Amino acid sequence: MRFYPIKMKAIIHSANSGNNQFFPHITEKAKEEDSWLLPEFPPYEMEKKLLNDPPPLNHDDSLLAPFLQTTPKPIIRLHDTNWYFPPPNEQFTPNPNMETYLKNRRLLIDELPFSHGEIHQHVAHGWAAYEPGITPRGRGHHCNRCGNTDPSLFANFQCFRCKDDCVYCRSCLMMGKVTGCSPLVTWKGVSGKIFSETKKHVMAWDGTLSLFQQKASDKLCTCISNFLQGKNERDHFLIWACCGSGKTEMLFHGIKLALNSGVKVLIATPRTDVVLELEPRFKQAFPDTVIHAFYGGAKERFAQGELVISTTHQLLRFHRAFDLVIIDEVDAFPYTADKKLRYAVSQARRERALTVFVTATPDDTMKREAEKGLMECAKVARRYHRHPLPEPALHWIGQWKKGLGRRRLPSKVVAFVKKHLQGNKQIFLFVPSVRVMEEVEASLKKVVDVTVGAVHSADEERREKVMAFRKGEIRVLVTTTILERGVTVKGVQVGVLGAEDRIFTESALVQIAGRAGRSPDEPTGEVIYFHHGKTNEMVKALKHIKRMNALGEEELLKEKRGGGK
């Protein structure tokens, strides 16, 4: 949409602007050359008389009239002026419903169930403000909602709202369209706290933490309490917790501490699966806390919560909202998704906030920062059941692709599968691509007489197949890296066929190995990387796991000697 940029000079000196709901209620601290953004209201609002008074488009005020006679401009073309927004007018009672929508958020007009007239009234009284949805950057654009700057993810169209050639962001289109003429609306009001800051949050979880979990939990609590007292040196904290160490429980005490200090807590993750898994666990652990989960397809999109669990995408609606941000499985998605998540977090966190990363496989940058002490770090080297992680073995299988074309699996792989089927075990077989998956599935069916299943990311029956594997109906599951995390099956044996493929990074290989030996009843399991040429990533993964095990051993020894804490 378009705005009339009116110089504050004209408003300051105009006699009747202050009495009008379309102009700032006060011109305090305004510079004469600042601009006031007067919207061109949508025609249907004028038709339906949603505005109490008609906007002063034919204002007879001689100071304002020249501005109103110009053609309004799309907001993207107004970035070179300073915009004036007044401080909140305490005499004005804002619409509480609008506050619920907008507080700590940044939303499109189209996402708000209020007329633009009413929204602008709140802007004039200093309770809301406009920001540009997209700003020019160099030769291209920057989407202020999602941080996209990739030229191939912007497109142009003839826009009815700004009557001009207009740009829109394709990167965050799923969240509603941000265009060059879309203002994003934010809330400026400070009073009228939605939640009481002295509320007592009860933790109903009464399980016990393992020695390893306890240490990480204590370290996190110290860090959070330092942060709450303004004494923290770093504002990033890494919990490097091996697969199966019970990372969610480690967070409970720290979150309780934060909630009881009246700060807002966010748990963000790239994966909807994780949000759906965490929501009931946190609701159970904190029964008196207002907890909302946001993910694509969730019914409630604009509620206010004391503890929020959100996917990366849904995070884009928040703005300067959270004091404690916990990012779960930050590495679960490739770099671009990661970049998006980081932008979303940078916008959703308060200016002063503490960010906690929780992952089994931090990337190199994060590891380096932790080592250098730029980021505080707690390592959790042992699983909840205290047994070491199964260490992978590397088996060379030569030109396996050739044989597979003739529906022949490498004999080592067949022997591995048969051995464990005889021992009545289930097998997870990871492969680098959907094509290989299909070939392996067909080849396996020729040599074994148990149920063989295969899944990949676009498989519509993914959930059903995973369920059948969990129940033991499927004995061998051939899968792409999509199941590298999250799926836990008791007594499962793990193979990677074609481990030299680029898709199997250190992080993927560590996560895959982490599928084995999860259950305390069967804490061991075989993990084999079948390959045609050892890669760096394979070596790094092996080293990673061995180091974790050694560290765990060391800490257990310390505990025996009585110096555990």
Partner 1 sequence: MVGLSGQTKLCPLCSAQLKKMEEISCEECGRPNLGAPAEGTCHDCVRWKKVAPWDTKAFHHRALYYYDPFIQEVLTALKYRGDVALGELFSPDLKSLGKKIGSFDFVTYIPLKEGRHWERGFNQAEVLARSFAAKPLVERVGVSSNKQSKRTREERILAMKNAFVLSVEGRKENYSGKRILIVDDIYTTGATLRSAASLFYEAGAEFVAAVTVARAVGSKARKKMK
Q: Which residues bind partner 1 (CB under 8 A)?
A: 42-44, 47, 110, 155, 157-161, 166, 168, 170, 173-174, 177, 179
Query: Is 42 or 246 the residue whose CB approaches partner 1 more closely?
Result: 42
By a kind-dependent CB cut-off of 5 to 8 A, residue 168 interacts, out of partner 1, Zn ion, none, with partner 1
Collapse the DSSP code of 105 into the 3-class scheme (helix H, G, I; strand E, B; otherwise coil) and give the result. strand
Q: Which two tokens stand for residue 6?
A: 């009116």
CB of 70 to Zn ion, least distance (A): 18
By a kind-dependent CB cut-off of 5 to 8 A, residue 291 interacts, out of partner 1, Zn ion, none, with none
Which DSSP category does 303 fall into? -
Q: How many helices (H) and strands (E) does the chain have?
A: 17, 23
CA distance 436 to 173: 34
- Measured N-to-C along each axis, helices 506-513 and 536-560 cross at an angle, to the nearest 10 degrees, of 50
By a kind-dependent CB cut-off of 5 to 8 A, residue 393 interacts, out of Zn ion, partner 1, none, with none
By a kind-dependent CB cut-off of 5 to 8 A, residue 204 interacts, out of Zn ion, partner 1, none, with none
CB of 44 to partner 1, least distance (A): 4
Does the footprint of Zn ion cover residue 452 (CB under 5 A)? Answer: no
Does the footprint of Zn ion cover residue 217 (CB under 5 A)? Answer: no
Query: Is 171 or 426 the residue whose CB approaches partner 1 more closely?
Result: 171
For residues 105-144, which are near Zn ion according to CB under 5 A? Answer: 143
Could you tell me if 504 and 237 are in contact, meaning their C-beta atoms sit under 8 angstroms apart? no
CA distance 323 to 349: 6
CB of 38 to partner 1, least distance (A): 18
Could you tell me if 473 and 391 are in contact, meaning their C-beta atoms sit under 8 angstroms apart? no
CB of 318 to Zn ion, least distance (A): 15
Does the footprint of Zn ion cover residue 35 (CB under 5 A)? Answer: no
Does the footprint of Zn ion cover residue 146 (CB under 5 A)? Answer: yes
Amino acid at 412: K
By a kind-dependent CB cut-off of 5 to 8 A, residue 158 interacts, out of Zn ion, partner 1, none, with partner 1
Query: Is 159 or 332 the residue whose CB approaches Zn ion more closely?
Result: 159
Closest Cα to residue 325, out of 249, 258, 229?
Answer: 258
Query: Is 173 or 393 the residue whose CB approaches partner 1 more closely?
Result: 173
Sign of the dihedral through C-alpha 205, 210, 216, 221: positive
Phi, psi of 463 (to 5 degrees): -60, -45
CB of 333 to partner 1, least distance (A): 16
Which position has the token pair 């059948």? 468
Could you tell me if 267 and 315 are in contact, meaning their C-beta atoms sit under 8 angstroms apart? no
Which position has the token pair 């490498």? 410
Query: Is 145 or 264 the residue whose CB approaches partner 1 more closely?
Result: 145
Query: Is 172 or 378 the residue whose CB approaches Zn ion more closely?
Result: 172
CB of 328 to partner 1, least distance (A): 25
CA distance 275 to 281: 10
By a kind-dependent CB cut-off of 5 to 8 A, residue 241 interacts, out of partner 1, Zn ion, none, with none
Closest Cα to residue 1, out of 139, 169, 132, 171?
Answer: 132
Query: Is 144 or 179 the residue whose CB approaches partner 1 more closely?
Result: 179
CB of 57 to partner 1, least distance (A): 17
Q: Which residues of 437-464 are buried (b: 16+ CB within 10 A; e: fewer)?
A: bebbbebbeeebeeebbbbbeebeeeee
Phi, psi of 129 (to 5 degrees): -150, 160
Does the footprint of Zn ion cover residue 347 (CB under 5 A)? Answer: no
Q: What is the largest CA-CA distance in the chain?
A: 93
By a kind-dependent CB cut-off of 5 to 8 A, residue 169 interacts, out of Zn ion, partner 1, none, with Zn ion
Query: Is 21 or 179 the residue whose CB approaches Zn ion more closely?
Result: 179
Query: Is 44 or 393 the residue whose CB approaches partner 1 more closely?
Result: 44
For residues 161-190, which are near Zn ion according to CB under 5 A? Answer: 161-162, 166, 169, 171-172, 179, 181
Phi, psi of 44 (to 5 degrees): -70, -25
Number of residues that bind Zn ion (CB under 5 A): 13
Q: Find the length of the chain.
A: 565
Sign of the dihedral through C-alpha 156, 158, 164, 170: negative
CB of 55 to partner 1, least distance (A): 16
CB of 433 to partner 1, least distance (A): 16
CB of 162 to Zn ion, least distance (A): 3
Which position has the token pair 């907008």? 102
By a kind-dependent CB cut-off of 5 to 8 A, residue 374 interacts, out of partner 1, Zn ion, none, with none
Q: How many CB atoms are closer than 10 A to CB 61?
A: 18
Query: Is 44 or 411 the residue whose CB approaches partner 1 more closely?
Result: 44
Which three-class secondary structure string do you get for 402-414? HHHHCCCCCHHHH
Does the footprint of Zn ion cover residue 479 (CB under 5 A)? Answer: no
E strands within 385-538? 393-396, 427-430, 452-455, 476-479, 493-497, 527-531
CB of 134 to partner 1, least distance (A): 14
Closest Cα to residue 312, out of 449, 148, 446, 74?
Answer: 148
By a kind-dependent CB cut-off of 5 to 8 A, residue 146 interacts, out of partner 1, Zn ion, none, with Zn ion
By a kind-dependent CB cut-off of 5 to 8 A, residue 69 interacts, out of partner 1, Zn ion, none, with none
By a kind-dependent CB cut-off of 5 to 8 A, residue 110 interacts, out of partner 1, Zn ion, none, with partner 1
Does the footprint of Zn ion cover residue 487 (CB under 5 A)? Answer: no
Does the footprint of Zn ion cover residue 76 (CB under 5 A)? Answer: no
By a kind-dependent CB cut-off of 5 to 8 A, residue 148 interacts, out of partner 1, Zn ion, none, with Zn ion
Half-sphere exposure of 198 (CA within 13 A, CB side): 0
CA distance 416 to 393: 12
- Measured N-to-C along each axis, helices 536-560 and 211-228 cross at an angle, to the nearest 10 degrees, of 90
By a kind-dependent CB cut-off of 5 to 8 A, residue 194 interacts, out of partner 1, Zn ion, none, with none
CA distance 161 to 291: 37
Does the footprint of Zn ion cover residue 14 (CB under 5 A)? Answer: no
CB of 480 to partner 1, least distance (A): 18
Q: List contacts with Zn ion (CB under 5 A).
A: 143, 145-146, 148, 159, 161-162, 166, 169, 171-172, 179, 181
